[in-house]
Amino acid sequence: MAAVSLAPARVRIFARVRPDDGGSDGEPLRFGERSITHAGREYAFDRVFAPGDDTAAVYRAACEPLVARAADGFAGAMFAYGQTGSGKTHTIFGDDHAPGLARLAAQALFDLVRQRPQCEFAFKMALMEIVDEKAVDLLNARAPVLFRTAIVPAEQPAIAQPHAHAPAAPARQLTYHGLSERAVTSERDVVASLEEGLAARTVGANYKHARSSRSHVVLRLTAEAAHRLARGAAGVAHPIADDGRTAELGALPPVDASLGPLVTVGSFTLVDLAGSESASANALGGAAAAQGAGINRSLLFLRQAVRALGATAGANAGVGAGAGANAGVSGADAVSYTHLRAH
């Protein structure tokens, strides 16, 4: 799993070990809090979740900070990556007995309505599938979705509101033409919409399972908040914090109260990636093998985009070296990189 945010450590990598995971080749796994050792090789992570850790523990460590930031007008994303059958969809969407990250994030967002009476919230969700290198809207009868990128001037605000604050817009902005957003007013609305959309997801047989996800699914939860302001000296206003005191909110600056409430728009995105598949299985031929090869190709693009984003973050934080904003990104990687950089 990879978490992407606007924090100085922009990309964090987590690993979750399945209860029955002894290594795909029979070699035992040894794991600690931040590392996994397999076949004599050690892999480092920001956090390793043991078989006994439930999805709620994953949420608290990996998602909770991003969801809180979304309510303050920032964007964050969590990707679930791994081999087919490794438990990605279970972690993201869960079931009636074990809620997934999506439901836990929805619970947290709607809890904010009660925790922040000084704010007026409006929530929306979108659900998109990417399959065979095409995107469709799962909440609108699989209508096609087109990706477009545009150059945004640095001085242009990222949110077109009468009075709004957001991080500076990236040089390249990615938009999704044809992707609908559905207003949701409760966790129940989110769950019902997820059930509706996921029922239309592309599934099929592969070399390992009779019924396996054959697509990437992107869930975006958007939080628009109108923050009530406290007037200070000379008409300068400050956002009111959760406990009612005048304080900084997500590092937002003081504003002129005569302009009305401070409006922020943030988002939290969850991506359930299709599972990577072995080259030997894809070599068997057939439509499923061709689809599997396409999945692997898209995951390669994503890996290169995340690597470039990590290099850029390291350079911005003074750690390591990066070769500019688009280090290592070209051609087909550009859309993946632009999406990640926006989060």
Whether 40 has a pLDDT exceeding 70, the answer reads yes
Neighbour-count burial of 61, counting CB atoms closer than 10 A to its CB (0-12 exposed, 13-18 middle, 19+ buried)? middle
Instruction: Compute the residue count for the chain.
Output: 343
Q: pTM of the prediction?
A: 0.73
The Cα–Cα gap between 96 and 134 comes to 31
User: DSSP of 57-88, one letter per residue?
Assistant: HHIIIIIHHHHHHHTTT-EEEEEE--BTTSSH
pLDDT digits (tens, 9 = 90+) for 252-288: 555 555 556 788 899 999 999 887 665 555 454 566 6
pLDDT digits (tens, 9 = 90+) for 152-165: 655 444 444 444 44
131 SS3 class: strand
pLDDT digits (tens, 9 = 90+) for 137-153: 999 999 999 988 776 65
Residue 33, amino acid: E
Q: What is the pLDDT of residue 250?
A: 46
The Cα–Cα gap between 266 and 73 comes to 4
Greatest mean pLDDT range, 105-119, 170-184, 237-251:
105-119
Q: Region 41-52: what's the mean pLDDT?
A: 91
Considering the chain, what is the average pLDDT of its residues? 73
Whether 326 has a pLDDT exceeding 60, the answer reads no
